[in-house]
Amino acid sequence: MRLGEVLGLKWENIDLRSGILNIRQTLNRLEKIDYNGKGSKTEIVFQVPKTKNSIRSIPLLPFMIKELQDWRNVQMSDKVQAGTAYKDIGMVVTNPLGGYIEPRTFKDYYNKILQAANIGHYTFHALRHTFCTRALENDMDTKTVSTIMGHYSVALTLDVYSHVLDSHKREEMMKMEGLFDLPTMPHSSSPIPLLLLQTQMDLY
């Protein structure tokens, strides 16, 4: 999922029983139109995804469902402790008082997690890229990957991740190497072994 899709996700968009997550909106900080000419300002905006392909459903693995259920329990605990200060607006990604988290704040949290894990710096989008790469490497068909990613076409998936597919095809092709192992011919001054070898290669 894109960052805006994660931050805009609501509990009503997730069916934990059937294990389906539906992407229906995004949360982004965009430039605010100022008709008074007082300079550039920004505001948090909830939007419908830009393309129809971005509006999609993603099946959840069992461990993901459990993680979401556990997180929902944490939110309910926060709600009890905060009392009337808690504003339950139905968001999945929230601060301790139930409010949404804007992209810049989330990125700060994310960077602190990376630093604590001591695994180097990677953009949040790199997680999405990694998922797609691993999916293709594990033989998920390209159409399914493209649909889950919300790409506008399979051609885009093939174009962006062609390096993955080429590498995977090369590895798969190496599995065929054993089929082309030819028996070692005894050394001879006669041209017959060479002719036999050439004949075998022509058959392939």
Element (H, E) at 27: strand 26-32
pTM of the model: 0.78
CB atoms within 10 A of CB 135: 19
List residues bridging with 22 in a β-sheet.
57
pLDDT in single tens digits along all 204 residues of the chain: 999 999 999 999 999 999 999 999 999 998 877 666 665 688 999 999 988 999 999 999 999 999 999 999 999 999 999 999 999 999 999 999 999 999 999 999 999 999 999 988 999 999 999 999 899 888 899 999 999 999 988 988 988 888 777 777 777 788 777 777 666 656 655 555 554 444 455 545
Return the domain boundaries, the chain. 122-179
Which two tokens mark 101? 């988290």
Residues 7 and 84: their CA atoms lie apart, in Å, by 23
Residues 113 and 140: their CA atoms lie apart, in Å, by 30
Residues 86-122, buried b or exposed e (16+ Cβ, 10 A)? Answer: beeeebbbbeeebebbbbeebeeeeeeeeeeeeeeee
